[in-house]
Structure formats: structure tokens, C-alpha cells
Structure 1
Amino acid sequence: MAEDKKMFKVKIDNISVEVEPGTTILNAARLIGGEVVPPAMCYYSKLEGSGGKCRTCIVKVTKGSDADPRPMPKLVASCRTTVMDGMEVANITSPEVLDARKGVVEFLLINHPLDCPICDQAGECHLQDLGYENGSEATRYEFKRRTFDKVDLGDKIKLHMTRCILCYRCVFTADQLTQKREHGILGRGDAAEIGTYIKQSLDNDFIGNVIDVCPVGALTDNTFRFKNRVWFLKPVDAHRNCNNPKCCGKVVLWMRGDEVFRVTARKDEYGEVENFICDECRFEKKDKNDWVIEGPRKINHHSVISQGQYVNTVKPLDPLVDVLDGRKPKLLFNIHSESQVNRPEIDLSKIEGPAHSDDFIIKKS
């Protein structure tokens, strides 16, 4: 009988959790959930090699382990640092971490344009949320921001490099998911940019997933661009029997009425795709009849998209029922049969002169 695997005890923001050896601090925090989880702009659990680029997930290790209780001298990236038995970590409880994260956000926004009102990613942009929660009111950067021309990577994907934060997610997706890498990081330093080799277009069965993994508005869906705002649409879960064996066919339809504006993969609470979908499901199946609709998509209340959702609502009680002692109010009724004033047997057109109250008096025989 195999021995049980030893678990490491870790404490993050004074909350204890047991994890397997080799688990990163970020994933240990995700087991706890809530505000303890550091933000992540480049790490993606389904992409090998991701993480360590943006530095937004930095934390402070106040105790290395039970064997070596010394604190780590510098802040570390939680997505790249594995836990040790007895480790203690400070995230939101450390003013040093919050101040450093504020500086990281300011650095990410040095070249990023603040064009949220016209960006299709607005309302579901991780950088927008990060800037709101950890950013500064103003920037100290005085130099001219770098700009790039918008580029069409094929007829379905638009690249707006000016918004890119170089998280490398799209590069890892194209390299690992499609097995046909056609784009990557060109140039170095301030001249680094996402681009295609020899101006090739991104054209394969799963390349549309680079749109879903992009945390900002650098890669957007050309078929949805400027068509609608996400908070005006109703996301619903749907599925279909896809002919591609690698595609699960489980998606989210973004609808307004019966019109499907866009199709995306389903994402978890951390904004990561649950299952990648093929380009046929994403771009070509925009008819409601192509899908089996399961029901409304549950959206985190933190998102502005949740403001238009009506899930698990409670119908208010009708006060008229209590006023009428349990009797249901009669919304439509014949006034002649209900009223003692207007008598149906009296024809007003046959009364000589104006009608008078005496004409409706019931005369006793």
C-alpha cells in the first residue's frame, strides 16, 4: 500500500491551508479564495511556462519554512515561487506589497492608452480592474508614449499593439495549442512588440483563443468589434456537437434578444478558459438555432456585466392581496355588473334631456 503524500502547511494572510509539494504560492492562495488571492496578468494555469512577466502577483514571504524561518529578503512573484512546509506569506496584510503592486500597475500603464470608453475589452478587462483597485490617480511618466498602428491578423483578429502589456499569453497559446506558431515577440526593450513573422496571418483551427487569453484589449474579435457593449448583452451557456474532436463545443453566447453578437469560451472565476474552443464555434456559429441553450451564465458580482443579470431573483409580494383579505384583485371587470350606480338595463340614449341621479334610483314597487 502506497504511503500518503506529505502535505505542506502554508499560512497566507494568517489563513492556513494544506497543499501538495510543488504548489506555487498563487495556487495555494486560490485554494483559500477571496481577497487573499494575488492578481495575475500573465500567469495562466493552462499554459506551460506562463507567469513571471508582469509582477502583479508579488507577495512577501515573512517565514521561509519551519526548517529555515528566515524571511525572504525581497518580494517574490507568487506564480513562480513554490511553497515550503511552514511558510508564511503576507499579501493584502503587507503595506509593502500593496505599495509595490501600486508601482507595478503604474509601470504597466506607462504606455497603455486610457481609451476604455472606446475599447471592446471594457467591462471585462483585467487591467481595468487592477488599475481601479491598485492604481494611482495620476502617472509620473512625462515622456511620449509609444504607439503602433492597428494590424489585422487575418480577417477575424485585430491587433492593437499600443494596448499590449507583453504578458506572452497569446504566444504560449499559439505555440502550445495550435502547434503552428506564427507570431511572437519581435524586437527588444522599448521596441518589443507582438507580431507575425513575414506578415503572416493567424490562420488555424484554434487561433481564436488568443482573444480569450488576452487580459487587455490588444487582441479583439473583428466580427464583434464596435458592435455592442458587453454590459448590454446577456451571456448564456450553450453547447453543440462540434465536428472538431479537440473542441468541447461548450461556449458562452453573448446575446441581445435573439441575436448572437459573439461566442466565447467559458471562463472560471480567475478569468481563465475552462476549455478551449475551435474557430468554427467562435466565428461561424452566430445563429441561435445552432446551439442548445442551457441557461444564463453566472457572472461574478464584481463585474459590471452582472448588473444586467436576473438570476435567482425574488418576485415582490403583491400588497393588494393583504389589503383585500386574501381576495385577488379584479383587474378587468364589467363595471355594470359590479357597480350599484350604473345599471345595465338603463339606456342613456333614451333618456330625455341630461341624465340625472334620479334616473338611476331603484323605484320600489
Structure 2
Amino acid sequence: MGTVTIDIDGQSYEAETGSMIIEVADDAGLHIPRFCYHKKLSVAANCRMCLVDVTNLPKAVPACATPVADGMKILTRSEKALMAQKSVMEFLLINHPLDCPICDQGGECELQDVAMGYGNDISRFTEGKRVVKDKDIGPLIETDMTRCIHCTRCVRFGTEVVGLREMGATGRGEHMEIGTFVETSLSSEVAGNIIDLCPVGALTAKPSKFQARAWEMQSTTSIAPHDCLGTNIAVHHRRGQVIRVVPHENESINEVWISDRDRFSYQALSARNRLTTPMIKRDGQWQKVDWEQALQFTIEQLKLVKEHHGAEGIGALASPSSTTEELYLLQALMRGIDSHNIDHRLRQIDFSTQHDDPMFPKIDFSIADLDDMDATFLVAADLRNEQPIASLRLRKSTRYGRVMALAPFANHENFRVAPYIQAAASELVEHLHKITAALVAQQKGSVSASLTELFVDIKPDPDHETIANELRINERACIIVGQTALEHSLSGHIKWLCRTISRLSDSAYGELSHGANSAGAYLAGALPHRAAVGVESKVSGWTTQQMLQKGLPAYLLLNTEPELDSSYRESARKSLSQAEFIVSLTPFAGGEMMDYCSVLLPVAAFSETSGTFVNVEGNWQSFRAAVSAKGEARPAWKVLRVLGNLLDVAGFDFTSSEQVRDKLKQRLEATTDAHVGHLHNPEQLDFGGELPKPLNLYDTDSLVRRSACLQQTPIALQNWRREQILSLSQFDTGTLIPIKEVNHA
């Protein structure tokens, strides 16, 4: 695109052809008042607050909808512009209630700010103000639609960004109202973003209603503890209490959006069953003790188990959302006592190809590249349920590109996916065989004989041919392996097939892993077959599957409830209940852990500890604590450091989480024998396979399970995804624990 020269308030600026006046002004640091305009939404030009004076034009024009032209002279502070802006402001305030003293938006309200600069002290309007009846649109968003100024940001967000039009306008003139058409809760997993978009107090966060004023809160940037993208957030807190969580802009990851899971899971921090004091079970009764007693008892019991059963009688299971520092110290502790039984892959079933895995699960493209993909192939990837922000970004690619999918569930995405092959879990591998066979046939002569022989008798269908062809002919193409695929009982074969498809079609490959820090867990060495920085361990310990199905005398649990988090729920209940000793480093008590645990050590939860998450791009994102931990809880890395010291394990002399992180980074830079993964063709193709029972979006970890407002949403209550999996696992046939039982334990 070319450039033009324009003049704004007597200053000359270069601008791209087609840019709007307001965009050029923003880039130049010049403020033009606005309400309906937002850089991530389409231009509506319905508030008229951004009217400016353009030389040689008879009337003021909206800066958001007027493209620049060469030689254009614009005045934002002329008498004509100011008169137009003040007139618009007067009309907007006619029906707006004087709620500022009790409005949650007070202090950060765009209407307040603009009214101070462009409003009148006294209103000339003497008629009665209109009143709009509020609608209950769910447990997350509080409405006061009398305050609404009809900017339609919330409507455009749903239509353009999410692809789900839940909000809209009804009526005409002063009878116009913004609402949900019919009284119903918002069902989108990213609906909370309309709270940030609303320029007034019409849409506010219901869980934090009336809790604090904007100027009373401090803001600490952090990283969301749920998704592998590394969503950037800002934690707003006051007097040691988290009040709310909002997006922190990062164009390369989450832009200006966050999922409701990231926004509202903080409610769990004040759950009734927060663990604030160390506890020991004696004679079947739980007793509160001090840290010295709890740690001493833990050390004695671990030594006793090691003496009677050997070090391999002890196993450690960790949440993939634990920090890299915590995971590094946990594996160092376990290997320091000569046990290699450590794993974070709680949802994985197939470990047959774990030695061929790359250093960590990653994507071969940037997260921002999802916006512009020409062809994307989703393999059992339920993005809305697993990675909501990735779903928003991929939706943008459908403007010009194509999304295709193979999955054992119905299409939940809010954009066109074609072809969409819905197949039973036992048929996923067969469909991937056919797509691979199509590529092998399309590239005769350039494929190895061994690979050709594997697929010689497989005949693809038209949909398989289409997927193969689209991936091959498009320059920007990628294959995304989702969490459901990684949970499949033949996930190793699925990953090999997808990597083969990627290589044959010259398209990028990526895995969207579980939790917030699976990549960090791999690098930290929280694996039974690899130590830190990807170095193969001389001795391979037990995987999650082996530890929970075969059982061990002792377990060390970090931020996890295996009976709820893992794919082996019934096996976990049985093995944990039969163990001699279990110590859990957890922010919460209650539920089944009270039956099987021997010691509960309270550790800091999200926002209460410092640490680092590594996202699927391989970016290390560190964060610090926003508030202090509750009661006597301590950061998990500190608890692990003390346990290491008490067990006389070398290398546990860290005084900060930053030192742990730097130590791991130094080892990573110095290593020369890290495992980078290999692509070995199997001797024969596998068929069949099963899936474990899936987790709902708001059932993925201990935080979201204890967030009261999230558990009241339609997504949590309907459990729609659980009912649409076509083939459930045959390894676990037990029933799920109802959410309310966990919350109120």
C-alpha cells in the first residue's frame, strides 16, 4: 500500500492509504474522543463522538469512518469540531443515570473521562430519563442496561470475533435496547471480554461487584495458569486479595482477549476449602500442625518407605500447570533419592513412543500465524473447549483460508470447517491412514519405498484427498494435534501419522498440550525417561499409567488430584487408597484427598507465587506473586527446596525462584546431548484405539473446579462435550465425581 501526507492540527504526518483518521491520530499520540470505535472491531460510526473538522467539508465527519486522503487537513480542536463533540456528549448524557457513586466502572469509565472534557455542568434536558429493565445473562456478567449508550461493541465482539451472536439490538429510537434477544445466559467461553469492551458501566463483572474501586486496586502482570498458549493477564488486587483478572495486551499471543476460564478462575482463591495450615492424619483423624512437624513427619515416612520398598517405591505426580521451577525441583528431589517415578502427563494413555518425542511439545509456527493460515487441519482438536484463544485466532484465518478437521465429536467451532470428518475414536487412526495414503499417491517417486509399502493397499475417500491436497498446495498450511488426540490410546501412532503428513505436504506441525506448562515440564525433566533439559535418563521410571494402575507404596503429589485430573480415575482411587503414605502439596483440602492422603502441605496458588511458564512456542514467560499466600501456605518451590535439604539432596541451595529458572536455563544452554525427537517409520500400521472420559472446559484443574461462578455457567452445567464423544474408554468405567461434591467437601 502507498502512503499519503496529511495535516492534523497543523502537524504533518505520513499515513498508509486507506487508514482512518482516528488510526493515524492514535499512532501519532493525538487523542480523539470515541465510544464505539475499538481497534479490534469493525467500524460502526454510531456514537459520533469522534467528529472532527476536515477543511473544505461542510460538516464535521467521524474520524473512525473517514479514510485519509493526500493533502487532507484535519482539525480536532477547532470550534466546529468541539461544538460537534460537545453536542454529541450532551445527547449521550440525556438518558444516562447519575450512578457514578455506585457504579463499578467509576474511575475507569470512558464516559466519565470524556464527559469531564466535553460535557456541560448543567443539563438542559427536563424530561424524564428512560429506564431499561435489566436481564440476567448469567453468573459472570452484571448488567445495568439503563447505562448503555448503544455503542454496540459487545454486539460486534460476538458477531465478528467470536462468531456467536448472543447480544443484539431490538427496538427503535429511544426504545432500542441491547440484550440477548431472549432471556438466557451467555454461552460463549470468552463472553467476559465484553466487560472490558463496554465503555460505560452497563456490563461489569458480577463476581467482583461492589468489591473495590479502580483506584484502590494494584495491578500485577501475570500468565494465565490454564492454557498452553501463555495468555498474558493482569491481576488486580487490593489489601492482599485478588479482586479481578483482566487481559494484558500481547499481540503475539492473546491480543487483548482472555477466556472466561482465565478471567474467573481466581474465585477459587477464596474457596471455603483453601488449605492454610499443614495437616497430618493420625489414627484416621486430621490434625493441624506446624510446618516443622509436618515436614519432619514427611521425611520420616519417605525414608521408611525407601527402607522397606526401595526408592522406586516412591512416585511423584505433578500438574502440567505447575511452574517450571516447581517441576525442576520436584524431579531433582525424586532423582536425588534415586527414584525416577515422576510424571506430569496425567491425561496421556499411550507412552509407547515417548522416547521418540521431541524435547518438548510445541508448534512449528507462531501463535499469531494462526490468523493468516491458508489451510489448517485440526486433528481431534476441540479448540473452544481446550484452547479458546487459539479458536479466536484461527477463526480470523477463515476469511480467506480453509479449516479442515478430523474429530470424534461434533463441530463446536464458530466458523466453517470443511471437510469435517466426524468419526468414532476407534476410527481416527484409519482416517489419518487414508490422508497419508493420499499424499503418498500424490507424490509418487519422492516417497521412500518403506513408507509407500505401508500405505499401498489403503484407498482414500474424496474428503481425505481434499485435506491432503489443501495441505500440499497452500504455502501457509499447518496441522494441529489437539488434546483429545494426545489422550488417545494410540496417540503415539497418531503423532507419527500427523508428522508424516506434515513432512509430505510441507506444512507446519503443532501440538496443543495440556495445562499451562507442559513444555516447561518436559524441559524441567518431570518425566520418568528424561532428566532436565531433555537428557535421556539411564534408568526409566514409571509413567502416570504405571503408577496409578499398578500402584506404589508412596506418592508425592504436586498441585493435582489424580482421581479427578487423570485419565485413570478409578485406578487412581484404588491405588491411592491402598498406598502406605501420600503427601500432597496443594492449595486446597477437601474431596477424596482427605481419605487417601497422609500429609497435606499448603502451597501458594495462582497469583500467590512467582515462577515461569513455557508456552508451545518455547517462550519463557516469568511472573511474580501478586498477593501473599493464604495463612501459612508457602510457595511450592520453597517447600520442595526444604524437603530436598532435609533429605540431604545436593543442589537445593536456591533462595529465589529466579535462581532456579536461571540454573535450568544455564543447563539448557550448556547441554550437548538433549533429545530432539526422531521420526521412525513403524513396521506396520496400527488400527483402533480408545479415548478416556473427556474433561469439561471448567473441570480441567483444581482452580476451575472450585470457581463458583464458572461452575454455574451453561458450559459447566450442560457438560455438552462429555455427551458427544462417540467412543468412551474401556479402561475406566467409573462414574465422575459431581462438581458440587468437590466444591463443598
TM-score of the two chains, using structure 2 as the length reference: 0.36
**Distance (whole Å) between structure 2 residues aligned to residue 29 and residue 22 of structure 1:** 14
Aligned residue pairs, count: 275
One-letter amino acid of the counterpart of residue 40, structure 1: R
Aligned in 2, Cα 1:84/1:296: closer, same or farther, shift over 3 Å?
A: farther
Alignment-derived partner of residue 87 in structure 1: 72
CA drift of 1:274 comes to: 4.2
Which of 193, 205, 209 in structure 1 is aligned with 2:177? 193
CA drift of 1:119 comes to: 0.2
CA drift of 1:236 comes to: 1.1
Which of 36, 56, 78 in structure 1 is aligned with 2:49? 56
> Contact (CA 8 Å) 2:142, 2:204: kept in 1 or not?
yes
SS for the counterpart of 2:220 is strand
CA drift of 1:128 comes to: 0.1
Q: Is the helix fraction higher in 1 or 2? A: 2
TM-score of the two chains, using structure 1 as the length reference: 0.71
Alignment-derived partner of residue 290 in structure 1: 606
CA drift of 1:96 comes to: 1.5
> Contact (CA 8 Å) 1:7, 1:19: kept in 2 or not?
yes
Alignment-derived partner of residue 72 in structure 1: 57
- Name the structure, 1 or 2, with higher relative contact order (CA <8 Å, separation 6+): 2
One-letter amino acid of the counterpart of residue 56, structure 1: M
SS for the counterpart of 1:242 is coil
CA drift of 1:21 comes to: 0.3
**Distance (whole Å) between structure 2 residues aligned to residue 88 and residue 37 of structure 1:** 16
CA drift of 1:275 comes to: 2.1
> Contact (CA 8 Å) 1:178, 1:205: kept in 2 or not?
no
After TM superposition, the structure 1 stretch with the greater mean CA deviation from structure 2, 155-164 or 286-295, is 286-295
CA drift of 1:194 comes to: 0.7
- 1:252 paired with 2:234, answer yes
SS for the counterpart of 1:55 is coil
- 1:133 paired with 2:133, answer no
> Contact (CA 8 Å) 2:153, 2:198: kept in 1 or not?
yes
**Distance (whole Å) between structure 2 residues aligned to residue 54 and residue 145 of structure 1:** 19
Aligned in 2, Cα 1:138/1:194: closer, same or farther, shift over 3 Å?
A: same
Cα deviations across residues 156-183 of structure 1 (Å, max 9, x unaligned)?
1111110000000000111122222122
Cα deviations across residues 216-246 of structure 1 (Å, max 9, x unaligned)?
000010001111112111011111343376x
> Contact (CA 8 Å) 2:136, 2:184: kept in 1 or not?
no
Give the unaligned 5+ runs of structure 2. 270-603, 611-621, 627-745
One-letter amino acid of the counterpart of residue 115, structure 1: D
CA drift of 1:202 comes to: 0.7
One-letter amino acid of the counterpart of residue 278, structure 1: S
> Contact (CA 8 Å) 2:4, 2:70: kept in 1 or not?
yes
CA drift of 1:186 comes to: 1.0
Q: What's the RMSD between the two structures over aligned residues?
A: 2.0
Alignment-derived partner of residue 16 in structure 2: 20
CA drift of 1:266 comes to: 2.4
Alignment-derived partner of residue 322 in structure 1: none
Alignment-derived partner of residue 47 in structure 1: 41
Aligned in 2, Cα 1:120/1:157: closer, same or farther, shift over 3 Å?
A: same
Which of 239, 262, 280 in structure 2 is aligned with 1:281? 262
> Contact (CA 8 Å) 2:85, 2:118: kept in 1 or not?
yes
CA drift of 1:95 comes to: 1.2
One-letter amino acid of the counterpart of residue 31, structure 2: V
Alignment-derived partner of residue 148 in structure 2: 164
Alignment-derived partner of residue 3 in structure 2: 7
Larger radius of gyration between Structure 1 and Structure 2: 1
Aligned in 2, Cα 1:267/1:134: closer, same or farther, shift over 3 Å?
A: farther
One-letter amino acid of the counterpart of residue 151, structure 1: K
Alignment-derived partner of residue 589 in structure 2: none
SS for the counterpart of 2:96 is coil
Alignment-derived partner of residue 26 in structure 2: 30
Aligned in 2, Cα 1:11/1:231: closer, same or farther, shift over 3 Å?
A: same
SS for the counterpart of 2:146 is helix
Q: Which runs of 4+ in 1 moved over 6 A?
A: none
**Distance (whole Å) between structure 1 residues aligned to residue 114 and residue 623 of structure 2:** 32
- 1:236 paired with 2:220, answer yes
CA drift of 1:296 comes to: 10
CA drift of 1:151 comes to: 2.4
CA drift of 1:295 comes to: 6.3
One-letter amino acid of the counterpart of residue 95, structure 1: E
**Distance (whole Å) between structure 1 residues aligned to residue 223 and residue 145 of structure 2:** 33
**Distance (whole Å) between structure 1 residues aligned to residue 40 and residue 228 of structure 2:** 20
> Contact (CA 8 Å) 2:135, 2:183: kept in 1 or not?
no
**Distance (whole Å) between structure 2 residues aligned to residue 97 and residue 267 of structure 1:** 31
> Contact (CA 8 Å) 1:186, 1:193: kept in 2 or not?
yes
Give the unaligned 5+ runs of structure 1. 63-70, 298-365
> Contact (CA 8 Å) 2:7, 2:13: kept in 1 or not?
yes
**Structure 1 vs Structure 2: percent identity of aligned residues?**
39
CA drift of 1:285 comes to: 2.7
**Distance (whole Å) between structure 2 residues aligned to residue 82 and residue 236 of structure 1:** 38
